[in-house]
Amino acid sequence: MSSGHDDGIHAAGVSKRFGSVEALSPLDLSIAPGEIVTLLGPSGCGKTTLLRIVAGLEPLTSGTISVDGLTPVSARELKRFGLVPQSPALLPWRTVEANARLLQDINVDANPSPLPDVVELLDKVGLSEFRSSYPHELSGGMQQRVGLVRAFALGAPYLLMDEPFAALDEITRADMRHLLASLCEPINTGVLFVTHSLAEAVFLSDRVAVLSSRPGRIVGTVDVDLPRPRVPELEDDPAFFAIETELRRLLHSGAGR
Amino acid sequence: MIGRLRNSAAFWAAIGTVALLGFWEAFVRVRDVRKFVLLPPSEIGSTFLDNPGFYVDNIWVTARHLVVGLSIALVVSLAFGALLAAVRPLEHASQPLLVLILVTPWVAYISSIVLWLGRGTPSIVFLVAFVTVPAFVYATVGGMRSADPAARELFASIHASRWEVLWRLRLPSALPSLFTAARFNVGLGLAAAYFAEGAALSTDGLGEAGRRAVAFNEGSILWTTILCTAVLGILSQVAVLLLERSLLHWHASQRRTAR
Ligand SMILES: Nc1ncnc2c1ncn2[C@@H]1O[C@H](COP(=O)(O)OP(=O)(O)OP(=O)(O)O)[C@@H](O)[C@H]1O
Ligand SMILES: [Mg+2]
């Protein structure tokens, strides 16, 4: 991939209306290659909408988005996005391994070469014993791990994750964010991560953009200058709490309007 | 051993069958029912054994009519249903036709079919396929529409082609409802095949055997034919069930536990 000033995702003046509902008021956001950016904001503020616009799944009302110099739709056609939806959306008739390969098996002409090794990825997330199991035989956390592997298996330059851990209990959630950090850090993938959880935002991100309540606009951006690799012990660090506090303050300032 | 038997579905089904046959036999003998009205199972057995080849051949003929007709209906319905699932106006536009097929009694128009397609197999297979299409179409449309929206979004996010969405997502999502329709259609198709064989001046098939038995006042042959038809119906249901078990093992309906 060539490097130039086009690289990365650049959203400029992006807004979105659904009929009379203004979901997003014009906002700017950039994600550099390999950068992990989190969108944090109250429910209904347009996080999912923004993610879908970036993925080329939803047309925007105004503004421009470029993904490595491409439009979102062309980037989608070239399989540049690995999507991790909120529900794992596993296909019940496919085994764990076949589900993990799903995105590789579709639109094969746009696959990068070489493709990441699915078996190795499943091993990394601790699912190697369950390769030939079916989704209904897995716990919620395990299902979401398959969803992560499915996205990583695409070898895409960008991952788009929409509250992937929202349905999990607190302990599993913590494990999942530690796992996700360990998956993201060794590879140079840009991530746009949507969450309600302050701990997730701080632990995973290089940068956190805080959105106001509807219509969503960016009320502040916080750089997370914590050392990488991120280790679980970091969550007991005063620096971690300090950033959490700052984010909470921003969230409240955006909600009160 | 006894405990396990008591919990087995097959065991209770066998008990039920024996009880039914016993009651049937006793009822016919005690009430001295006329042969033509109802034949006791023992006499059906001996009539069958008089000429087993005749019945087995006719079962095969009717089974072939049924399978060919259902297969044609399934192929047509999958193609048609996939189209309707994709184009809503077309779905609404096709409702009158599907409802018309569903509610019009075949007795009313079978002679027109025979006039059009000629005697024998073509008319019979046509009727079987014709009457089973609506249920298959409804199942295809409903099943394909039920595909998980999150999975659809996932497919869209990597620009899956229409064909890939259809083959890898919509069709498997439609399998459960297709099997429900198949169980219904096996019964409907068998009735249509039996009736059409008798009406299409076919040379063989259970329906034709039954028609001739009535014409020649052969009560025992009629009742043996009826029971053979029932057995064919049961075997078809079992075949659908076994197929369902192997193809739908992943579906909640096939699981014993709650998850
Ligand atoms: N397809 C649509 N048609 C009409 N309105 C929509 C549509 N999608 C989203 N909206 C509206 O846009 C606003 C933002 O929705 P969105 O799903 O992006 O919020 P969100 O930030 O992801 O919320 P949550 O955190 O609860 O998931 C909401 O008010 C919603 O009602
Ligand atoms: Mg959302």
* ipTM for this model: 0.92
Q: What is the pLDDT of residue A1?
A: 44
Is pLDDT at B36 greater than 70 in this prediction? Answer: yes
CA A172 to centroid of ligand 1, rounded, Å: 27
Q: What is the pLDDT of residue B9?
A: 84
pLDDT exceeding 70 applies to what percent of chain B?
97
Residues in A closer than 8 angstroms to B157, CB to CB, are 55, 57, 76, 81, 83, 160
Residue with more model confidence, B201 or A171: A171
Distance (Å, whole) CA A48 – CA A59:
13
Q: What is the residue with the minimal CA distance to atom 22 of ligand 1?
A: A48
Digit-coded pLDDT (tens) for B60-99: 999 999 999 999 999 999 999 999 988 889 999 999 999 9
Pocket test for ligand 1, best of A18, A22, A50, A165 (most atoms within 8 A of CB): A18
Backbone angles phi, psi at B164, to 5 degrees: -65, -40
What is the mean pLDDT of the segment spanning A208-222? Answer: 91
Q: In whole numbers, what is the pLDDT of chain B averaged over residues? A: 91
Q: What is the pLDDT of residue B31?
A: 87
Helix, strand, coil % in chain A, rounded to nearest 5: 40, 25, 40
Is pLDDT at A213 greater than 80 in this prediction? Answer: yes
Residues 65-84, chain A: which have Cβ within 8 Å of B?
76-77, 79, 81, 83
Asked if residue A48 has its Cβ within 6 Å of ligand 1, the reply is yes
Q: Is B154 on the interface with A (CB under 8 A)?
A: yes
Q: Is A59 on the interface with B (CB under 8 A)?
A: no
Backbone angles phi, psi at B48, to 5 degrees: -60, -45
Digit-coded pLDDT (tens) for A71-105: 999 999 999 999 999 999 999 999 999 999 999 99
Is pLDDT at B256 greater than 70 in this prediction? Answer: no
Distance (Å, whole) CA A5 – CA A62:
22
Tokens of A112: 């990068």
Band (pLDDT 50/70/90 cuts) for residue B121 is very high
Distances (CA, A) of A32 to A5, A8, A229, B200: 10, 4, 18, 74
Q: What is the residue with the minimal CA distance to atom 24 of ligand 1?
A: A43
Band (pLDDT 50/70/90 cuts) for residue A2 is very low
A41 Cα nearest atom in ligand 1 = 21
Q: Specify which residues A65 forms β-bridges with.
A: A11
Q: What is the pLDDT of residue A132?
A: 94
Alpha helices in chain A, H assignment, sequence order: 47-54, 72-77, 96-100, 102-105, 118-124, 140-152, 170-184, 198-204, 238-255
Strand ranges of the sheet holding A207-211, from the earlier edge strand across to the other edge = A81-84, A158-162, A190-195, A36-40, A207-211, A218-223
Digit-coded pLDDT (tens) for B163-213: 999 999 999 999 999 999 999 999 999 999 999 999 887 889 999 999 999
CA A24 to centroid of ligand 1, rounded, Å: 9
Residue B38 region by backbone torsions, left for phi larger than 0, else alpha for psi between -120 and 50, else beta: beta
> Residue A92's closest chain B neighbor by CA?
B250
pTM: 0.87
**End-to-end alpha-carbon separation of chain B, Å?**
29
